[in-house]
A and B are shown apart, each in its own frame.
Chain A
C-alpha cells in the first residue's frame, strides 16, 4: 500500500500526466454514456442536411449522408476504447508468456524465442496486419486480434530482461528451496516483480493500437460503415476533402487528443515506476 502511495504521489507531481489521466477518464465516461449524451442517432441518415457545416443544430456539422458528426465521434470513441484495451490485453498476455519463459529458462529456449521475436520485428507491422486482414473478414474483432498478435514483441523483450536479473535474486532460490514448481515460481513469484515496465508499455500500447485501428478503418480495412469509427469518418473526410473540412478536422483531433492523453499517462507512469528515482523518496 505504501508503495502505491509513493507511486501516486510521484505520478501526481507531473502535471501533464495528470491532465492526460483526467482526459482518459473523461473519454471512458463519454464512451460508456454514448447512448445518453449523443445528440442524434449516429447512423440516422438525413438527406435534407447533407454536408451541412458546423452550426447550431449540428455542432460539428454532418457527413455526406447527413449524419451528425458529433454523435458519430462520440460513438466512435467506443470503438477506439474497445480496440485499444482488448488489443493491448492480447499483446500483453502473449508478451508476458513468451518473455518470462525465455528469460526464466534461458539457453536454447531463450535463443529460439528471441529469434522468433526478431523475425516478427522484421516485418513492417502494417504489412503483416494487412496480410492477415486480407485473409480474414475485416471487422472490429479481427482488428483487435490482429493488432494484439502483431504487437507483443516489445512486452516480451521487457519481461525477458526483467526475468534475466530477477531470477538471480535470493528470493528465487528461497522459493526453489521450499520446492515450488517452475510454473508457480514464474507466475506467482517472479512475474509480479517484473510488471512495472509492462504497465508502462501497455499504456503506450493503447495509444498505438488506437492509431493503427484508425488507420485501418480509414483504409476501409477496419470497422465497416455504417458503424462509426474515427478512422472511417475520416474516409468520408477524404472523399469530400474539397468541400467539407470539418469531416477531416474533428475526428482526427479526437484521435490526436486520445492518443496524446494515453502517451502522457504512460510517460508519467514511467517516471513514477522508475525504481532508480525511488531511493530519494524513502527518506
Chain B
C-alpha cells in the first residue's frame, strides 16, 4: 500500500505540472500590474524556481504533514476545505453502499435461483438499462418528477432554509428528504452492476456438487440457498463492492453538483472551474487514498467471509 500511495502522489504531481502556465501566472493573469519582481517572489514562495524533483520532494514532505498549501480562491488551507467536505460525501457513499447491498444481493439471489423466470428477465432488463443510464440524466428526471411535478422532495442542498426553526425530529426528516434522491442516484449504477454480479456468482455456486448433495439429502431450499450457496457466492461480491468505491467517489462530482450538495465532488468541480491547483492536488490524493482504504476494507471483509484466506496467512 505504501508504494501505491507513493505512486499516487507522483502521478498527481506530474498531472499538475503538465499545466502550460505556472500557478503563478494563473494567480497573476487577472492583474496586469504585477511586476516581474513580484512574480519572482511568488515563484520563490511556491518553490517553483527549484528543479522539478526537488519540488516533488518538498511537496511530498508537506504532504506527509497533510499540508497541501492554500487555496488560490479564498486563501484558506486546502486540507481544512477538504476535511469539512468529507463527512457529507462519506455519509452519502456509505448510505448508497448499504442501499446497493440491500437491493442488489436479494435481486441477484432471486434471479439466480429462478433463472429464466419472469423476475430474472425483468431484472436483466433493469441491469442493462441501469448500466447505460447517465446518472445525471436520471437525477434530472427524478428532480422533474419528485421535485417539480409532485413537489414532495427538495431538489437541492442538504437542508431547508428554515432548518434552524425545526425540532430535532423534523430536522432529521428534513435531512432524510434531502438525501433520498442523491443516495438513490449514486446507488443506481451500483445496484445494476452488483445484482448482475451476484446473480452470476450465485449461478456458479448453485452448479457445484455440494449444493446437489445438500438438496439430495432433503434440506429445505431456503437452507440450501442461504447457508450453503449464498455464503460461498458472497466472496466475489465483497471484492466488487470494494472495487466500486472509486466509481462512487468520482461519480460524486456529478450528482453533488446537480443536487448542490457541499461534498468533495462539488468542491472538486468548483476547483476545476477556477483552476485552483492546490485544492485539485489535495482532493486527487485524498480521493485516491480513500479508494485504497475502500480496497483494504474489502480485503479484510474478504478474509472474514472466506476462511481459506485466513488459513493461508
Chain A residues touching B, range:
35 or more
Interface residues of A in 90-145 (CB under 8 A from B): 115-116, 118-128, 130-136
Are B253 and A127 in touch, CB under 8 angstroms? Answer: yes
Cβ-based interface call for A234 (8 A):
yes
Decide yes or no whether A237 CB sits under 8 A from chain B.
Answer: yes
A 237-271 binary contact with B (CB < 8 Å = 1; else 0): 11001100100110110011001100110010000
Q: How far is the CA of A119 from the CA of B269 in the complex (A)?
A: 22
Which residues from 119 to 178 on chain B have a C-beta closer than 8 Å to any C-beta of chain A? 128-129, 131-138, 140-141, 143-144, 148, 155
Contact status A130-B269, CB under 8 Å: yes
User: What distance in Å separates the Cβ of B124 from its nearest Cβ neighbour in chain A?
Assistant: 9
Give Cα A172 to B309, complex, Å: 35
* Cβ distance A140 to chain B, nearest Cβ, rounded Å: 18
Q: Chain B's nearest CB lies how many Å from the CB of A141? A: 15
Q: A264 contacts which chain B residues (CB < 8 A)? A: 128
Interface residue? B19 (CB, 8 A): yes
Partner of A134, one of B140, B141, B155, B272: B272
Are A126 and B251 neighbours in the complex by a CB distance under 8 Å?
yes
Are A124 and B280 in contact, with the CB atoms below 8 A?
no
Q: How many residues of B contact A (CB 8 A)?
A: 51
Q: Mark B250-294, 1 if CB is under 8 A from A, else 0.
A: 110110011000000000110111010100100110011001100
Contact B136 A260 (CB under 8 A): no
Q: How far, in angstroms, from A221 to B8 measured CA to CA in the complex?
A: 24
Taking a contact as CB atoms under 8 Å apart, the answer to whether A119 and B11 are in contact is: yes
Q: Which of A120, A132, A221 contacts B18 (CB 8 A)?
A: A132
Please name all residues of chain A whose beta carbon is closer than 8 Å to the beta carbon of B291 when the two chains form the complex: 122-124
Q: Which residues on B sit within 8 Å (CB–CB) of A133?
A: 272
Q: Chain A interface (Cβ within 8 Å of chain B)? A: 115-116, 118-128, 130-136, 207, 211, 214-215, 218-221, 234, 237-238, 241-242, 245, 248-249, 251-252, 255-256, 259-260, 263-264, 267
User: Given that A234-B136, A256-B129, A260-B128 are contacting pairs, would A119 and B8 also be in contact in the complex, using a CB cutoff of 8 Å?
Assistant: yes
In the complex, residue of chain A having the shortest beta-carbon distance to the beta carbon of B290: A124
A182 to B141, CA, bound (A): 54
Cβ of B132: which chain A residues have Cβ within 8 Å of it? 207, 211, 255-256, 259-260, 263
Q: Verify B268–A218 contact, CB threshold 8 A.
A: no
Q: In the complex, A238→B273 CA distance in Å? A: 18
One of A130, A136, A211, A220 near B253 (C-beta < 8 A): A130
What 1/0 mask marks residues of chain B from 1 to 38 whose CB sits below 8 Å from any chain A CB?
A: 00110011001100110111000000000000000000
Residues of B within 8 A of A135 (CB): 15-16, 18-20, 275
